Each structure stands twice: as structure tokens, then as C-alpha cells.
Amino acid sequence: MSTRQDLQEQIINKAWEDAEFKKQLIANPKAAVKEAFGVDLPDTIEVEVVEESANKFYLVLPESPAAVKANENVEVPMWL
């Protein structure tokens, strides 16, 4: 797992295929990812899992470019 996108795709695919993993992922995302993929997400990272439906979708706003530039000196966790 080399990138954040790779990890996200693997998590989504596993949730689609494994109902028990999906329940764990929604209830405790960090523990579910650690157990399934061996990836220990840092305490400084907050993870929230929500599921879209036919009647509800979510729009995720990425961090603004100005904020990213301001954080250039912040060490990026290896799992990204």
C-alpha cells in the first residue's frame, strides 16, 4: 500500500465484500483498518466513515491549497 488512494480503494472493496468488516469500519475505523490491513493510523489523524445511499451523498472538501502550503513543513504519515 503505497498511497492514501490505494489504501482507500482497498478499504472500500473490502467493505463491499465483507459485511462484518463494514460494520467494524463504521464503528471503529482505525481498529478495523489496523486489523484488516496492518496499518496503524496515527493518533493525530481523525477518521470518520459514512455510507452513501440512493437518497444521501456526501461531498468531501479537501484541504485548501493555502492550508496545504502552510503545512508543508509538517511531517506526512507514511500511510499517505
pLDDT digits (tens, 9 = 90+) for 8-22: 999 999 999 999 999
What DSSP assignment string belongs to 28-45?
-HHHHHHHHH-----TT-
What is the structure's pLDDT at 2?
57
Question: Are 1 and 39 contacting, i.e. CB atoms less than 8 angstroms apart?
Answer: yes
- Express each pLDDT in 3-61 by its tens digit: 888 999 999 999 999 999 999 999 999 999 999 999 999 999 999 999 999 999 999 89
The answer to whether the predicted template modeling score (pTM) of the entire model surpasses 0.85 is no
Distance, in Å, from the CA atom of 35 to the CA atom of 22, rounded to the nearest integer, reads: 12
